[in-house]
């Protein structure tokens, strides 16, 4: 759990208040998180589908990351009516949908410089 008055927590809050950039990054920078968002946007919107997409993730970690994405209102959980036991779907919110093209841009940025050995100014 987070300590309330650790230097770490205080510094985090300071950065959040300097610029929204820092809170934005905090929301998406956990392990697996942006990959989960991307997978959901591609239609892998069920717990078991995400498990298949990310074979190394444990169910416990997957559950935790989904919960955090939900906390930040990037995804919402929706029960699929008429399923027994009740199935759960994950849906991107408006916020989540707006995030996807930004992740795409970041991905392209990563790709353009992945091979580049020579540093340019």
Partner DNA sequence: ACAATAACGAACAAAATTGTGAGTGACTTA
Partner DNA sequence: TAAGTCACTCACAATTTTGTTCGTTATTGT
Among the listed residues 71, 77, 95, 97, the single contact to DNA using CB under 7 A: 77
Write down the least CB distance from residue 45 to a copy of itself, Å: 13
Instruction: Report if residue 13 touches DNA, rule: CB under 7 A.
Output: no
Q: Which is nearer to DNA, 16 or 47 (CB)?
A: 47
Assess contact for 54 and 32: CB atoms under 8 A. Answer: yes
51 close to 62: Cβ distance less than 8 angstroms = yes
Alpha helices (H) along 19-93: 20-28, 33-41, 47-53, 59-71
Helix (H, G, I), strand (E, B) or coil at 31: coil
**Alpha-carbon gap, residue 55 to 106, rounded angstroms:** 24
| In the complex, minimum distance from the CB of residue 84 to a copy of itself, in angstroms, rounded to a whole number | 25
Of a copy of itself, DNA, none, which one sits near residue 79, judging by CB under 5 to 8 A according to partner kind?
A: none
Q: Quick one: what does residue 60 bind among DNA, a copy of itself, none, with the CB cut-off 5 to 8 Å set by partner type?
A: DNA
């Amino acid at each position: 759990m987070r300590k309330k008055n650790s230097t770490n927590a205080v510094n985090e809050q300071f950065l959040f208040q300097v610029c929204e950039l820092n809170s934005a990054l905090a929301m998406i920078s956990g392990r697996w998180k942006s990959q989960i968002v991307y997978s959901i946007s591609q239609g892998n919107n069920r717990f078991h589908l995400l498990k298949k997409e990310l074979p190394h993730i444990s169910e416990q970690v997957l559950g935790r990351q989904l919960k955090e994405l939900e906390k930040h209102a990037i995804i919402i959980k929706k029960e699929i009516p008429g399923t027994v036991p009740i199935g759960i779907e994950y849906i991107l919110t408006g916020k989540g949908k707006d995030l996807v093209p930004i992740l795409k841009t970041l991905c392209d940025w990563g790709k353009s410089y992945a091979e580049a050995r020579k540093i340019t100014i």
